[in-house]
Amino acid sequence: MKGKRAGGERGCAGRLIEEAKANGEEICFFLVLFLAVSSAYIQYPLLSSPAGADLKTIYGYSLALSQGKNIYERMGGQDLNNVGLYPCYMPLVYASGGFIALAGHGTLDDWAFYFRLLTLVLGVGIAFLIYFIAEDMGQPLIGLFGAAFWSFNRFGLVVLSEGHADTVTLFILLSSLYFFEKRPQLSCLLLGLAVSFKQFPAILAPVYIILLREKIGLLKAAVLVSAIPLLSAAPFLILNSTAFVKAMWWSFVRPSSQVSLVYSASPMLDIFGDWGWLSRLPIALMYVLLFVLVYAGRVGVYSAALLAFTIFLAYNTYIYPRYFSWMIPFLPLAVLELACRKRK
């Protein structure tokens, strides 16, 4: 009797385990939903934080753009060796802010609330994208971990409280990567859309072009990636191409500021300086090595994204705490990608 009962209990436990496996994706999804709602609830009070200097700057340029002004005009006579609150982002950041102002939220506090709300909503969306990407790889549990890892990281809170568009850009970038294998042409367009908000995903353009060269061709991939950035920049290039190019280039050659983190204890500063072309030589060489690894098939797209942003943090002459948020989504995804490549 005892043996039969034990056998029955084992059989019942086995059925429960099988049912749990069968329903694992649904359970993980609802856990991700719970995490996302909890994260949003915790972060919601940050929407009413006082606007800092950076957010006020974005607000000012967004308001000017909504009034039909060329916000990049002032860069025409600027010395790129200076540090200032310049319009150094791509046009869609200011266009989004301008749309909020035109929608009737023109005062700074009201505008800042809705600008941050956009960041909060898309930050929740990033958690779901991480989960769906991992689920497509057959690992919903890792997707659950990745969603939790993103939802409660401190650097996402920094982006939200400061009111920057890094989270918006990351959401579009991860959307692009979600379609990377399924719909590569749409993936390239979405990468271009991400770059049209903030420039940092542009470093992945060579990665996309290299990895998709056999599927859609080098030239087509390059055209698709560059299409939206060029369209969004076209009005400003027509009005004053010099000013716009200087505004974009300033981000690449600018010196560090008093509020940025610098490798001040490094002898690299003595050799290469902290601004201009020469100061970017080490980081440029590291990116060339990364692209060689991608071309050789040693590095997948998620690992390349993680390495690209890590190189920036390790070698750029200045960094801000919000830059660390760029790496967070790709840590679990790169680990998962490596595991999948090993199994193959």
Reduced to 3 states (helix: H, G, I; strand: E, B; else coil), residue 261 is strand
Q: What is the pLDDT of residues 143-188, one digit of tens each?
A: 999 999 999 898 888 888 888 889 999 999 999 999 999 999 999 9
Gap between the Cα atoms of 68 and 336, Å rounded: 46
pLDDT of 304 > 60? The answer is: yes
Are 76 and 244 contacting, i.e. CB atoms less than 8 angstroms apart?
no
pLDDT of 191 > 50? The answer is: yes
> Residue 126 corresponds to which tokens in the numbers above?
């990033």
C-beta neighbour count of 154 within 10 angstroms: 10
Gap between the Cα atoms of 210 and 214, Å rounded: 8
Query: Positive or negative, the Cα torsion across 250, 202, 323, 45?
Result: positive
Query: What pLDDT shows up at residue 136?
Result: 92
pLDDT confidence band for 198 (50 / 70 / 90): very high
Work out the percent of the chain whose per-residue pLDDT is above 90: 55
Are 277 and 235 contacting, i.e. CB atoms less than 8 angstroms apart?
no
Nearest to 43 by CA among 123, 110, 105: 123
- pLDDT, average across residues 122-135: 95
Residues near 142 by beta carbon (within 8 Å), at least 6 away in sequence: 134, 332, 335, 336
C-beta neighbour count of 204 within 10 angstroms: 23
Strand partners, 261: 319
User: Comparing 275 with 285, which gets the higher pLDDT?
Assistant: 285
- pLDDT, average across residues 33-51: 86
Query: What pLDDT shows up at residue 101?
Result: 94
Q: Where are the domains of the chain?
A: 47-253+266-343
Q: What is the pLDDT of residues 5-16, one digit of tens each?
A: 555 545 554 554
**Phi-psi label, residue 66: left if phi above 0, alpha if psi -120 to 50, beta otherwise:** alpha
Q: What is the pLDDT of residues 255-265, one digit of tens each?
A: 665 555 555 44
User: H or E stretch including 338?
Assistant: helix 330-343
Rg (the chain; Cα; Å): 23
Residue that the structure tokens 């500021």 belong to: 257
Q: What is the pTM of this model?
A: 0.87
Residues near 203 by beta carbon (within 8 Å), at least 6 away in sequence: 287, 308, 309, 312
- pLDDT, average across residues 232-243: 93
Average pLDDT for the chain:
85
